[in-house]
Amino acid sequence: MYGLLLRSLIEAIQTKYGASIETTLKMCCFDKKIAVFFNYTDMPQLKRFLYILVHDHYNDIKVFHFLTLISKDKNQNVDSIMYDCGKYFIIYLMDNGYKKYLTCIGRTYEDFLNSIETIHNVLNLSKKCKKPPVFKLKKIKKNIYNFYYISSHKLYKKYCEGLLMSVAQILYNMNPTISIIDTKDEKSNNRQSRLHIIYEITMESYNDKSKLDVVKNSTKTPLYTLLHVHQHYFTINKLLIIDYISPSMNKFSSHLYMKYITDYIDFDYPNIKNISFDDLKLYRNVYITVDLKKDLEAESLRRDSVDNVDGRSYVSNSLKMSGYCIDITVDIIGIFCVPLIFYIGQIKSSPFYLSELKFQSGIIHYCIKNYNFCEKSPDLIDNSGKVDRNLELEKLKQKNQYYDELMKRILPVSYADKIIKGENVFKNEKKIKYASLLCMKITNFKEILNHNTPIDVINFINLKFDQIENIVERYRSFNVRIMFNQMSKKI
């Protein structure tokens, strides 16, 4: 066990049972092995703070022996203490610098469980296990999963159960049922045994009326909760006509279906008409689908098709994107997180903060395209055919100035200035798990919709996406298809 986990165990015991370090460890000093293990050799040293290094490795058996002594002193079952310590570990991580990392790992609890192996590698600070534990999530049926935990450490099955429950409650506001349904001890060829544990996790049913009421009555509900619970969205085709409505929006269907998006549409809840930039930090992403379309000569016969508006031939591939829409009744400020694509079906994504906007590659590509900037400009080459470093640095300086100008154009000045200086825009901003970035402000978008044909409008939007064509290599033609849930009262 690493010192990071051991520190959390000590703090969990103090927090849960209200004991000081001296009281908690007093009985341990009568056990010589435990006393030496904690660097204590005599009673006066109890006045020192417990000296545990985060990067050091501590013997699991001795740690469990320590917890056994604690359980006897506190008249508690050791499994209960292990469970409580597992639940506290997530709290300890969030209080000690890992909060932003944990909150961006998965949009859902299932996503988080599928990422536990990655989390373990991140927290496995200094030494690499010869045989690291194995984590696997398998769906059995709707809302029921089996979580497999295979490890040479056999004493921490209740600890893991508490940790799984803590993640659900703290990060996802869920209260699943978690139970151990099978435990098996197997020996490998080198006679080293490994414990196989299967946890059954029963998720909450999102059809539970009481939970829906909680979401409906919330004044500021995270957007990902609305998306996951209510599944509210509708799709818009290339003619800007609403051609599909999610079943959860049946009561709006007569007002929505086959309508142009120039119409204003009111939803019953939540009571949010427009999202201001100040409130943006409280909401998760609006989910947007973009159809990537690749020209193929084999599809040339489709050029005269009724569905083919611009005369090109395409094979359609759908790709999820994500972004924010702010105050859509006046302007659209879209912050679109664009995945880096190496081939259809593969998305490379990485987390970022809104205050790190300036440093995202989407901004860079936008500027390069918008200002006709090239990485290897001919005027950087001198007469001898070598790159002039001074000119290169000057060009880089100019490019940075262009980035700053762009930030001031697309964001409010107060926010743009902070981002340019590298300051944090929001105190409690949440990490967004996507890749490159395009920021776009379309002024008077309502007027554009009202005074142009649907085909002209979609061409206008596609032209904006063409400005970042370098982000998605080899795919030059985009068709926008937007999936909104009900963040806005009006669209």
pLDDT in tens, 319-350: 333 333 333 333 343 333 333 322 222 222 33
Examine the pLDDT at 226 and tell me if it is beyond 50: no
15-35 burial string, b = 16+ CB within 10 Å, else e? ebeebebeebbeebbeeeebb
DSSP H/E element including 406: helix 389-410
Q: Indicate the DSSP class of residue 340.
A: B
Burial class (CB in 10 A: 0-12, 13-18, 19+), 55: exposed
Q: What percent of the chain has pLDDT over 70?
A: 25
Domain range list for the chain: 111-204, 213-353+429-484
Mean pLDDT of the chain: 54
Which pLDDT belongs to residue 439?
A: 39
Can you list the alpha helix ranges (DSSP code H) found in 30-138?
32-37, 60-73, 78-95, 99-102, 109-114, 116-123
Examine the pLDDT at 60 and tell me if it is beyond 70: yes
Which pLDDT belongs to residue 242?
A: 54
The Cα 106–Cα 110 span in angstroms is: 8
- Beta-bridge partners for 387: 381
Position 232 confidence tier, pLDDT thresholds 50, 70, 90 = very low
pTM of the full structure: 0.41
Residues 90-108 have pLDDT tens digits of 888 877 767 767 766 666 7
The distance in angstroms from the start CA to the end CA of the chain is 53
The Cα 155–Cα 78 span in angstroms is: 10
Q: What percent of the chain has pLDDT over 90?
A: 0
Residues 197-218 have pLDDT tens digits of 888 888 865 444 434 343 333 3
Residues 129-186 have pLDDT tens digits of 556 778 888 888 888 898 888 877 767 788 888 888 888 887 776 788 888 888 877 7
Phi, psi of 187 (to 5 degrees): -105, 135
Average pLDDT, integer, range 458-473: 45
Burial class (CB in 10 A: 0-12, 13-18, 19+), 83: buried
User: For residues 491 and 265, is the Cβ–Cβ distance under 8 A?
Assistant: yes
CATH class as words, domain 111-204: alpha beta
